[in-house]
Structure 1
Amino acid sequence: MRSLRLLLIVTIVTLALAACGASGGNTGGNTTSNANSPVIIAWLPNESGSELKDARDAIGAVVSEVLGRPVEHRTTTDYLIAVEALVNNTAHLGFFGAEAYVQAHDKNNKVVPLVIPSGSDGRLETAVYYSWLAVVRGQEGNYQENGIYKIDNIQGKRFAFVSSSSTSGFRVPSANIIKYFSQQEKWKNLTADELIEGGPNKFFSEVQFGGSHQGAAVALLSGAVDVASFCDACVQNYVELVSGEENKPGAVYRVLNNASEPFDKFPGAEFVIISATPVINAPFVVNSGMLTADEIKRLQDKLTSDEVANNPRIFATKAEIDAGFKPLFRKTKDERFLVVDDAFFNPIRAMR
């Protein structure tokens, strides 16, 4: 069954990439750009929803202005399709989590970081979001000991990851689980591969992959799993904090009554965070074989400018959000884009 699923994914990716190649754009290793072809931006499933169209278009407008070329957004329903688009020279840019970036760079070293969103104080040191383990409200007591949240009882449960290419939805939580449980004799040789499939004598009784952070959260809310891993940033447009401290164990979040798909079927549903781990922010990445060094430098200069940092359609203000705008990034203080190099993501490599 697992081999059949893998074959199906490979087939889907192959067909998708063939379609990408047929739609135009530079197709491999070029150091000069075709001004008549679109710059293609690949988006992971988390950022591919219709509610984020205006936010994607705001990024696209900056890219188009700098390069003097039209922009085409390539939305996806599978992490692998987005990663392979950059790897196989059918997309110029992408917005990837750190793990997806590392996987892409491993396959094609011309895929490199472009910029990364900073922390609220404008620095790289605080450029993090959070990987959560969550349970539906009412079940949180099963994961406490003397009032302290612990993950001991996740073993044997039905569990949802996001994708094996997800940083906060797989790489970070799997590393944390292995580090914690490998102290026990029974699980001393536990590996990430062994967390992927559930069943008798496995670590989890059942394992699902949501395909996106939203999908993993919905698997939890629907009752399909007992525990799910997903990130704060990818669900912030759909939920609100109702008690506890943001991004801390014990925090309770509620689905907004007017939440868009796929949360529209769960208005008012609540879940509780039992574990929260800071994760390196997701970068925009570029295939340096498809854009020139000058084009990349001009993109970096523009994206890291005060103009972009103060663009409310890129770093959305509270007023924009209150007016109904669904952002990719939020302006709480001094957020902006910063330039990083490949080595910045070595902590993610170390988890592997």
Structure 2
Amino acid sequence: MKKSRINFNLVLTLVIYSSVACTPSVSPSVVSPSSSTNAPNPSNSQQNPELEIAIIPWVSSTEQQDKIQQLEEYLKQELHQPVKIQLTKDYETAVNLLVKGEVKVAYLGPLSYIQAKQRNPNLEPIVAHIEKTTGRPWYTSVIVVNSQAGIITLEDIKGKRFSFVSPSSTSGFLFPSAKFKKLGMKPDRDFSEVQYAGGHDKNIIALAEGKVDAIAVNKSAYIEAVQQNLLPENQYKTIWESQPIPNSPFVISSSLPSELKTKLQRALINAPEGLLNVGGITATGYTVVQDEDYEPIRKLQTFLEKPTQNP
């Protein structure tokens, strides 16, 4: 897989208006960080301050924490300095830590990056992962329903129980919310109950346990749930899928020294495949990104925030 920068604008600018069009519809082997040939220099490790990185929650904390520890050890060796990666309790905590300068690096969702950038302009994305299921640096959102709930179209969710991931989630909130708005639907008015699970895996569990009738979730998380028989295909189905969404980026503060930024960017791009799944995504590598790649997310956010013309 060629890990070069891929510009999203040509494809994804159309997302703002086309993403609201209804479209019915393994974890890789882990490479031990100790295999790196770049052994850390003890004197450098003592001289350089600890680099703190925040990661948004995505899947089971135990599973995600294992991946995070492996990446942490890898980065210590590649950067030749102490590294501490923390898994935050929710999206908002990761954003707050980065905005306030309590961490210099964070792995954020596309929308949470935009929200962070609005609060602190001195932030920039440096890499985003390449989706293993598509081979591209983007993914999609899907709405999944219980087949027994009598939901065939999005309009059928009216009067039903629905769960988003988080108000800061791109696939678990922004894109499906924009679709609902385009259809003239208001979740807080039209659904019998609206929940926010806090993570894609938690949203899937809520649906599997019958706590809700429909959910918005990342498609790759849904596919994995089907493979694990958490959401058997004869009991659950997708009724909508979004247009491509630019993948979640690693975001840095401008206060990070340029040399360290370059080293971090290079280390992530060259990371073994087994170290890539810190966000719970099956990834094959990272590609260079920049702020303009996420402009479509800003536009969709603006669309969602505009007052409804026809109540």
TM-score when normalising by structure 2: 0.73
Structure 2 residue 293 is the aligned partner of structure 1 residue 344: yes
Matched, 1:173 2:176: yes
1:275 corresponds to which letter in structure 2?
W
SS of aligned partner of 1:143:
coil
| 1:254-299 deviation digits (Å, cap 9, x = unpaired) | 218xxxxxxxxxx99952211122322111111222x211110121
* Unaligned runs of at least 5 residues, structure 1: 1-32, 145-149, 188-193, 242-252, 257-266, 317-325
State how far apart, in whole Å, the 1-side matches of 2:160 and 2:264 are: 46
Structure-1 residue corresponding to 2:7: none
SS of the residue 1:169 aligns to:
helix
User: Hey, what's the Cα distance between the residues in 1 that align with 2:51 and 2:263?
Assistant: 14
* 3-state secondary structure, aligned to 1:41: strand
Name the residue aligned to 2:204: 217
Question: Do the aligned residues in 2 keep the contact of 1:48 with 1:77 (CA within 8 Å)?
Answer: no
Matches within 5 A, 1:251-270: 254-255=229-230, 270=235
| Counterpart position of 2:248 | 282
**CA positional deviation for 1:96:** 1.1
The Cα offsets for residues 178-204 of structure 1, whole Å up to 9 and x where unpaired, read as 12x13xxxx5xxxxxx53xx3xxx122
Contact 2:58–2:200 under 8 Å retained in 1? yes
Tell me the equivalent position of 2:258.
Answer: 293
Work out the CA distance in 2 between the residues paired with 1:327 and 1:42.
11
Question: The residue matched to 1:254 in structure 2 has which SS?
Answer: coil
Indicate which of 133, 140, 145 corresponds to 1:130. 140
Q: Which residue of 2 aligns with 1:330?
A: 282
After TM superposition, the structure 1 stretch with the greater mean CA deviation from structure 2, 69-78 or 342-351, is 69-78
Equivalent runs, 1:16-55 vs 2, <5 Å? 35-47=47-59, 49-55=61-67
Structure 1 residue 207 displacement after superposition: 0.7
1:338 alignment partner, SS class: strand
Residue 103 of structure 1, CA deviation: 0.5
**Where does residue 165 of structure 2 map in the other structure?**
162
- 194, 197, 212: which is aligned to 1:207? 194
Q: 1:102 aligns with which of 114, 139, 144?
A: 114
| Matched-pair contact (CA < 8 Å) for 2:133–2:220 | no
Deviations 1:101-152 (A, max 9, x none): 10011111122102011245997xx32222121112433xx333xxxxx312
Q: Which amino acid aligns with 2:151?
A: Y
Change in 2 beyond 3 A, CA 1:48/1:227: closer
User: Aligned partners of 1:34, 1:103: CA distance in 2, in Å?
Assistant: 35
CA distance in structure 2 between the partners assigned to 1:37 and 1:47 by the alignment: 30
TM-score of the pair, normalised by structure 1: 0.65
Match of 1:86 among 94, 98, 107: 98
> Which residue identity is paired with 1:156?
G
- Give the aligned residue type for 2:90: D
Amino acid in structure 1 at the alignment position of 2:201: Q
RMSD: 2.9
2:215 partner letter: A
1:255 maps to a residue whose letter is L
- CA contact under 8 A between 1:304 and 1:337: conserved in structure 2? yes
Match of residue 40 from structure 2: none
Amino acid at match of 1:204: F
Work out the percentage of aligned pairs sharing the same amino acid: 30
Letter in 1 for 2:241: A
Relative contact order: is structure 1 or structure 2 higher (C-alpha 8 Å, sep ≥ 6)? 2
Change (3 A) 1:120 1:36: closer
Q: Deviations over 1:189-226 (max 9, x none)?
A: xxxxx53xx3xxx1222111101112222222222221
* Partner of residue 73 from structure 2, selected from 51, 61, 80: 61
Q: Count the aligned residue pairs.
A: 256
Matched, 1:152 2:152: no
CA distance in 1, matches of 2:118, 2:46: 27
Question: CA contact under 8 A between 2:163 and 2:215: conserved in structure 1?
Answer: yes
Paired residue for 1:71, among 79, 83, 93?
A: 83
Q: 1:268 to 1:172 in 2, by over 3 A?
A: closer
Per-residue deviation, 1:175:
0.7
